[in-house]
Amino acid sequence: MTAEDHPAEGAAAAAARRRTFAIISHPDAGKSTLTESLALNARAIEEAGHIHGKAGRSATVSDWMGMEKDRGISISSASMQLEHRGTVLNLLDTPGHADFSEDTYRVLAAVDAAVMLIDAAKGLEPQTMKLFNVCRHRGIPIITVINKWDRPGLEALELIDEIREETGLDPTPVTWPVGIAGDFHGYLERRTGDLTLIRATPGGRRSAEEEHFSAGEATPEALGLPELADAREESELLGASGADHDQETFLAGISTPVFFAAAVRHLGVPRLLDALVELAPSPEPGPDAEGEPRSLDAPFSAFTFKIQSGMDAAHRDRLAFVRVCSGVFRRGMTVTSARTGRPFSMKYTHLAFGRTREVVDVAYPGDVVGIVNASALRIGDTLYEAQPVEYPPLPRFAPEYFAVARPADMGRMKQFRRGVEQLEAEGVIQVLRSEVRGTHVPVLAAVGPMQFEVVDHRLREEFRSSAKLEPLEHSLARATDESSAQELAGLAGVEVLERSDGQLLALFRDRWHLLGIERTRTHLRLDPLVAA
């Protein structure tokens, strides 16, 4: 069953069969590996090619940029649609590195649930907690997966305690591992007591083998598995403390169901697919910019949360990723951009699966559609048919790194300008300009320094124009207005520039520099920006 199988189906009914979610984690927790394992076990791919960027091995299907393969991290987000048990799973993979938290935030604005991936040996790490707090702020329910259980790590009960203490959520394990970290035999279903034994296939390129036993059959003596007795004892201890899954508290953001897995060998991943179908929420009416919910059966509407080019060198085009919020999308339909009021044709639309694409004719609330060569669209734009609507804007994060950008080869100035404009439209970097420097000399503003590396890489590879970046001494930005800008520009160490959306930003060396100015010039407007 896919989005195209029921062209006459109503939007709300089709939305009930959809789950749209993202995976959040600290770098190197196995996020891209889990993404690929989900695709393998949903039979979307026939063989896994995990372990990103290592010599002689292929990268995961969701990591497509050269830098991702070289470094073994995700620095762009990817979208793919899977199918499991008659349910459509829209998986949005997110950047794992903290320097790309703004892109991750935009992706999280387009999902209904999140899978929080934890390394069994490291527990909850800083970037995981950062993304968890974004999910909590947005009211996104979280399914927790403790990954890498096939390697030595912390004790299961210790990890459960850490989740409770660090997140404030009530962890409610749905499965419980048989065997300590590094000796993963299988898992118990805590509700029924049933046992699943798991065994990886050679090389880990195909789904793991599973053997299922009822609670009555699953005894340590019958199976010759003494670890099973310890697992049952620990599971009963959790039950006595009330750590059993409750769907209402999960959806309310009070508890988090927990699962154990080893994604690199596909152990426990089929159970996670089942959990996404059974537990993750389907799309619901979302609030518009005025706070009014828009019915799923209302005429078509969607918002743009990502723009990406360079996904396939053979096409050299640009994809705008939109999340369908209401109604039914049909390829070729004409919609209106809420920002410009102009009509927009949805003629060329794809489902993007890593670097591969498939033309999509019909999509429903919760689905993510890639619109080809949508140069008129910007991140945050609302599209609608018939009934006007506009969804809340996506915030821009406060940059902390700034650099003047010039082409390394002045003869490639035209390509350099085109590349900077493209990367700015995609949200890869913020671009600031001023009359003092000249509008042809942009200042690039980033949340993290790796964004500059991405800019240089893509300018060089896609636009054949390397950049010379001259770091500035500033590390702090505040929003200001025209009446304050003139006075601020005259102060030592302060620079005022204009962002592409028209917002004036005042740059300061550090917070002490800012505090000194705020104490003596209280009349100036200096508004904090959204922190990453």
What is the per-residue pLDDT for 8? 55
- Of residues 70 and 51, which shows the higher confidence score? 70
For the chain, the average pLDDT equals: 88
Q: pLDDT band for 363, please (50, 70, 90 cuts).
A: very high
Q: What is the pLDDT of residue 310?
A: 59
**494: pLDDT strictly greater than 70:** yes
Q: Which of 218, 245, 279 is the last residue of a domain?
A: 279
Instruction: Tell whether 342 and 447 lie within a shared domain.
Output: no
Q: How confident is the model at residue 76 (pLDDT cuts 50, 70, 90)?
A: very low
Q: Is residue 5 part of a domain?
A: no
Whether 396 is in a domain gets the answer: no
Same domain, 51 and 153: yes
Residues 150 and 259 in one domain: yes
Residue 455 and residue 416 share a domain: yes
pLDDT of 51 above 60: no
Share of the chain above pLDDT 70, in %: 88
Please tell me what DSSP assigns to residue 447.
S
3 state SS of 250 = helix
Whether residue 375 sits in one domain with residue 408: no
Is residue 216 located within the same domain as residue 334?
no
Asked whether residue 66 carries a pLDDT value surpassing 60, the answer given is: no
257, amino acid identity:
P
* Higher local confidence (pLDDT), 48 or 332: 332
Over residues 413-435, the mean pLDDT reads 90
93 a known binding residue? yes
Can you tell me the distance from the alpha carbon of 116 to that of 97, in angstroms, rounded to the nearest whole number? 15
Band the pLDDT of 56: cuts 50, 70, 90: very low
User: What CA–CA distance (Å, rounded) separates 446 from 375?
Assistant: 23
- Give the domain extent around 301: 286-384
Is 471 annotated in a binding site? The answer is no
CA 377 to chain centre: 20
Q: What is the pLDDT of residues 158-204, one digit of tens each?
A: 999 999 999 999 999 999 999 999 999 999 999 999 999 999 988 77
Q: Answer whether residue 77 shows pLDDT above 70.
A: no
In a domain? residue 222: yes
Q: What is the CATH number of the domain that holds 408?
A: 3.30.70.3280
**What's the pLDDT score for residue 521?**
93
Q: How far does CA 473 lie from the centroid of its chain? A: 31
* pLDDT, position 49: 62
Q: Do 376 and 385 touch, CB atoms closer than 8 A? A: no
| 372 touches 348 (CB < 8 A) | yes
- Give me the CATH number covering residue 201: 3.40.50.300
Amino acid 353: pLDDT: 57
pLDDT for the residue numbered 6? 54
Give pLDDT, residue 74.
45
Strand partners, 87: 84
Bridge partners, residue 343, by sequence: 336
Same domain, 197 and 229: yes
Residue 527 lies in a domain: no
Query: Quick check: is 104 in a domain?
Result: yes
**Do 271 and 371 reside in the same domain of the chain?**
no
Q: Dihedrals φ, ψ of 459, to 5°? A: -60, -40
Q: Does the residue 528 lie in any domain?
A: no
- The answer to whether residues 104 and 230 belong to one domain is yes
Let me know if residue 529 belongs to a domain.
no
Do residues 160 and 238 lie in contact, with contact meaning Cβ atoms separated by under 8 Å? Answer: yes
The two tokens of residue 304 are: 């743009």
Considering 99-103, 199-203, 213-217, 350-354, the range whose residues carry the highest mean pLDDT is 213-217
Distance CA 431, CA 434 (A): 11
pLDDT of residue 43: 87
User: pLDDT for 199-247, tens place per residue?
Assistant: 998 877 889 999 999 999 999 999 999 999 999 999 999 999 999 999 9
Are 205 and 121 part of one and the same domain?
Answer: yes
Both 242 and 258 in a single domain? yes
pLDDT of 134: 83
Q: How far is CA 282 from CA 93, 257, 278, 302, in A?
A: 18, 17, 10, 16
Would you say the C-alpha torsion 51, 55, 58, 59 has a positive or negative sign? Answer: positive
**363-382 mean pLDDT:** 89
Strands 142-147 and 113-119: parallel
Q: Is residue 4 over pLDDT 50? A: no
Instruction: Describe the chain by its helix, strand, coil percentages, rounded to 5.
Output: 30, 30, 45
- Decide which of 174 and 375 is more confident: 174
**What pLDDT does residue 356 have?**
67
Buried b (16+ CB within 10 A) or exposed e, 376-408: ebbbbbbbbbeeebbbeebebbbbbbbbbbebe
**Which of the four pLDDT bands, split at 50, 70 and 90, describes residue 98?**
low
Say how many domains are in the chain.
3
Q: How confident is the model at residue 312 (pLDDT cuts 50, 70, 90)?
A: low
Q: What is the pLDDT of residue 458?
A: 87
DSSP assignment of 149-161:
TTS----HHHHHH
Whether 172 and 103 share a structural domain: yes
Q: Is residue 526 part of a domain?
A: no
pLDDT digits (tens, 9 = 90+) for 257-311: 999 999 999 999 999 999 999 999 999 999 999 999 999 999 999 999 988 875 5
Is residue 244 a known part of a binding site? no
Using the predicted structure, report yes or no on whether residue 52 has a pLDDT greater than 80: no
**Local confidence band at 55 (pLDDT 50, 70, 90 cut-offs):** very low
- Give the whole-angstrom CA distance, residue 515 versus residue 443: 24
Q: How far is CA 132 from CA 13, 116, 193, 253, 267, in A?
A: 30, 8, 30, 11, 24
- CA–chain centroid gap for 302, Å, is 18
* Among candidate residues 59, 65, 97, the one with its CA nearest the CA of residue 78: 65
Main-chain dihedrals φ then ψ at residue 201, nearest 5 degrees: -85, 155
Write out the two tokens for 182. 């590094």
Contact present, 307 and 321 (Cβ < 8 Å): yes
Q: pLDDT (tens digit, 9 = 90+) per residue, 104-153?
A: 888 889 999 999 999 999 999 988 888 888 888 889 999 999 999 999 99
